[in-house]
Amino acid sequence: MSHPSYLALDRHALGVTSPEIEAHLRECERCRAHFDTLAQPLPEPEWLETTVGSRRSYLWIPAVALLAAGVLAFVRIAPETTPYIGTKGEPVVSVYVLHDGVVVPWEGEPIAVGDSLRLGVRPEGYDHVSVRSGDAVLYADALDGSGEILLPRSWRVDDEGSHESLVVVLDDEPIDDGPPASDSWQTTLTLPKQVNR
């Protein structure tokens, strides 16, 4: 016969029941005897009776005070740890549009011919960036810094096509003008152009 563990019987005594354990307790006298002992109060230890009411029971107060002072001193002299600063998520690419002399973040609205586009990159651990349009590499360089890094180049929107399409590639190694490596991160930005009427 397979018996439940003492932990399972203890959990059952605390109210975490299961039909299997209840059925087993009805059949097994050994497990039922252990289960019945769990409901009985434990006797008080002898040392408790000898110290309660005696003068020695107050000797622990200085020891506790000394221990508390030691903990407080440790907390005060323990060196401060530097907060963790590291990669917290996926890379992010932001587009900024210069339109009529005003720079605004691009939020999906159509862009106009003559607008200038500039990219901000949060590389999240990647060291190199490449910006492409079709087969042409518009920009490729190492990234230096953390947080959002504004790329030093901007691009003017031309009158060809109904949208501008930019592919941003991030990698740990320098990026050449060939196809991106399989382990590189990339995203395609498609910016619709205003239709002239």
Rg over alpha carbons for the chain, rounded to the nearest Å, is 35
Please give the backbone phi and psi of residue 184, each rounded to the nearest 5 degrees, phi first.
-80, 160
Task: Write down all domains in the chain, each with its CATH number in brackets.
Answer: 1-52 (no CATH), 92-192 (2.60.40)
**8 Å CB contact between 111 and 100:** no
Tens-binned pLDDT, residue by residue, of the chain (197 aa): 688 888 888 888 888 888 888 999 899 998 888 888 887 887 777 766 665 555 555 667 777 788 888 777 766 665 666 655 555 578 999 999 999 999 999 999 999 999 999 999 998 888 999 999 988 899 999 998 778 899 999 999 999 989 999 999 999 888 877 777 778 899 999 999 987 64
CA atoms within 13 A on the CB side of 129: 26
3-class DSSP state of 49:
helix
Q: Give CA–CA dist 152/108, Å, rounded.
A: 22
Q: Sign (positive/negative) of CA torsion 3, 7, 8, 14? A: positive
Strands 116-122 and 92-99: what pairing?
antiparallel
